Amino acid sequence: MSESLVIIGNGMAAVRLVEELAKSALGRYAIAVIGEEPRLAYNRVLLSSVLAKEVSRAEIELRPAQWWRDRGVTLLYGQTATAIDADIRRVKLASGATLPYTKLVLATGSKPIRLNVPGMALPGVLTFRDLADVVAIEQAAAGHKKAVVIGGGLLGLEAAYGLAKAGADVSVVHLMDRLMERQLDPRAAMMLKRAVEDKGIAVHLGADTTGIIGTDRVEAVSFADGSRIDADLVVVAAGIRPNVELARSADLAIGRGIVVGDHLQTSKAGIYAIGECAEHRGNCYGLVEPAYEQARALASHLAGRDGAYHGSVLATNLKVSGVSLFSAGDFIGAPGTEQIVLSDPGVGSYKKLVIADDRLVGAVLFGDTADGLWYLDLIRSGQSIAAIRDVIMFGRALAERSPVLAA
């Protein structure tokens, strides 16, 4: 008889977990997926493309309904899980129904941070995290063309790009001294700032937001230096926070996220967590690839194999405002490391590789990211690059033709 496996959360991590289970444990579990959003799982990475009308909402759907049916998965989307009773192994839904489980996986993701400043509740102040936010932004932008995006990280720049493509006059305000400081070094961040500004988006760095000004709706954003920017639409993209409220109802151990061990198990037997809601070895990952790696490891464990997860090498490979970016590992360069830099401002290309003890430990690429995943493989493998050090900066194709490497 199949064990009942309930997955709470219908995002990218949950989809990958079901995909992996279908390969290795099909028939072992009767799987039910509970999703709060009233739609099938979709690719959140492409939300800015939807906002910019480069792709349709239907195109970012990850799997059609038939795919789930073919794998015997019960989908309960548009349903909110409100509590977990770990003693009797049941999940309570907002409808009043309960769902029994043998094993439970929390893939509840994260929620956007709203700044603790006056005016956040004013009409016209929105977040950018899911398709409902995209719809709200589209509706607000239709009648209000002066937008301020708070946050110069990935989500903020994606929102700004989408709004600018939709015809809005956009300003990005960021507390830090450079854009995407968690993914880019100062040189790459400066190049990104120029590229964003070339698209007509104003960028204000070191901007400490102190409030949203307005009476019946937003009228401006104020800053600690006394300045302000007029706005009739504000999108807050100032970061995310792991969604742990449901875990609290089960009295699970919680740090910044839901604390899990190397088998992704929480502090209670039979309950696991993956993705943005999980905290592993003190790390909460806000990127898709670590969630996929956790899903693969958990599927292996649930299938009866080892399935240990030992953490992820952080890597970002994406397009922001139409510009290709890649970073991985220690891209800043810790003391004792060496750096190789190749820059061509004329074509908007910048590469920096960080080396320690003849091993590649970090990389940041701007413009030309074709070899990004190859560099990532070298970082993850920890193999010596001594034989190709003189050509590694010029990419995989040249390195693999190196006579020294061939020998």
Decide: helix, strand or coil at residue 355: strand
145 with 217, same domain? yes
The tens digit of pLDDT for each residue in 118-173 reads 999 999 999 999 999 999 998 888 876 899 999 999 889 989 988 998 889 999 99
Half-sphere exposure of 78 (CA within 13 A, CB side): 3
* pLDDT tens digits, one per residue of 191-250: 999 999 999 999 999 999 999 999 999 999 999 999 999 999 999 999 999 999 999 999
Instruction: Provide the domain limits for residue 189.
Output: 125-236
User: How much is the pLDDT for 24?
Assistant: 85
Q: Give phi and psi for 229, each to the nearest 5.
A: -125, 125
Domain-located, residue 307: no
Instruction: Pick the last residue of a domain from 188, 204, 236.
Output: 236
Largest CA distance in the chain: 73
In terms of residues, how long is the chain?
A: 407
Q: What per-residue confidence (pLDDT) applies to 406?
A: 44
Residue 345 has pLDDT above 90, yes or no: no
Q: Is residue 118 part of a domain?
A: no
Please tell me the distance from the alpha carbon of residue 23 to that of residue 296, in angstroms, as a whole number: 10
Number of domains in the chain: 3
Whether 30 is in a domain gets the answer: yes
What per-residue confidence (pLDDT) applies to 402?
Answer: 66
Helix (H) or strand (E) holding 359: strand 359-366
Domain annotation covers residue 367: yes
Residues 107 and 29 reside in one and the same domain: yes
Tokens 């742990």 belong to 244
Distance in angstroms (rounded) separating the CA atoms of residues 399 and 98: 58
Check if the beta carbon of residue 314 is closer than 8 Å to that of residue 300.
no
Give pTM, 2 decimals.
0.92
Phi-psi region of 365 (alpha: psi -120 to 50; beta: other; left: phi over 0): beta
What is the tens place of the pLDDT at every residue in 245-274? Answer: 999 999 999 999 999 999 999 999 999 999
User: Token digits for 14?
Assistant: 């949950």
> Tens digit of pLDDT for each residue in 371-407?
999 999 999 999 999 999 999 999 999 888 865 544 4
DSSP 398: H
Q: Does 263 lie in the same domain as 331? A: no
Eight-class DSSP state of 175: S
User: What is the percent of the chain with per-residue pLDDT over 70, rounded to a whole number?
Assistant: 98
Crossing angle of helices 131-143 and 154-165, rounded to 10°: 40
Q: Are residues 227 and 245 in the same domain?
A: no
* Average of per-residue pLDDT across 285-307: 94
Domain CATH code at residue 72: 3.50.50.60
The helix or strand, by DSSP H or E, that contains position 235, with its residue range, turns out to be: strand 233-236
Whether residues 290 and 357 fall in one domain:
no
* Interior/surface letters 362-380, b for 16+ CB within 10 angstroms, e for the rest: bbbbbbbbebbebbbebbe
Same domain, 232 and 245: no
Give the DSSP letter of residue 388: G
Strands 323-329 and 338-344: unpaired
Considering the domain architecture, whether residues 64 and 107 belong to the same structural domain is answered as: yes
Q: What is the pLDDT of residue 346?
A: 86
Please, which residues have CB within 8 angstroms of residue 113's CB and are 6 or more apart in sequence? 236, 238, 239, 240, 241
Task: Supply the CATH number for residue 377's domain.
Answer: 3.30.390.30
Query: Could you tell me if residue 245 is inside a domain?
Result: yes
Instruction: Say what the pLDDT of residue 404 is.
Output: 52
- The pLDDT of residue 407 is 44
Which of 198, 218, 236 terminates a domain? The answer is: 236
Say how far apart CA 357 and CA 197 lie, in whole Å: 39
Nearest-angstrom CA–CA distance, 321 and 148: 16
How many Cβ atoms sit within 10 Å of the Cβ of residue 163? Answer: 28
Residue 308 lies inside a defined structural domain of this protein = no
As given in the structure block, the two tokens for residue 116 are 């603790």
pLDDT at 308: 94
In a domain, 45, yes or no: yes
How far is Cα 277 from Cα 257, in angstroms, rounded to an integer? 5
My answer on whether 361 and 344 are in the same domain is yes
Q: Could you say which of 273, 302, 331 is where a domain stops?
A: 302
Do 180 and 157 touch, CB atoms closer than 8 A? Answer: yes
Q: Are residues 129 and 100 in the same domain?
A: no
Q: Residue 319's pLDDT band (boundaries 50, 70, 90)? A: confident
Same domain, yes or no, for 148 and 205? yes
Q: Is residue 120 part of a domain?
A: no
Regarding whether 245 and 229 lie in a shared domain, the answer is no
Of 87-91, 169-173, 276-280, 284-288, least confident by mean pLDDT is: 284-288
CA atoms within 13 A on the CB side of 366: 27
* Claim to verify: residue 10 and residue 59 sit in the same structural domain: yes
Average pLDDT, integer, range 78-105: 97
User: According to DSSP H, which parts of 166-265 are helical?
Assistant: 186-198, 245-249
**What does pLDDT average to over the chain?**
94
Looking at 125-185, list the stretches that DSSP marks H as alpha helix, in order from N- to C-terminal side: 131-143, 154-165
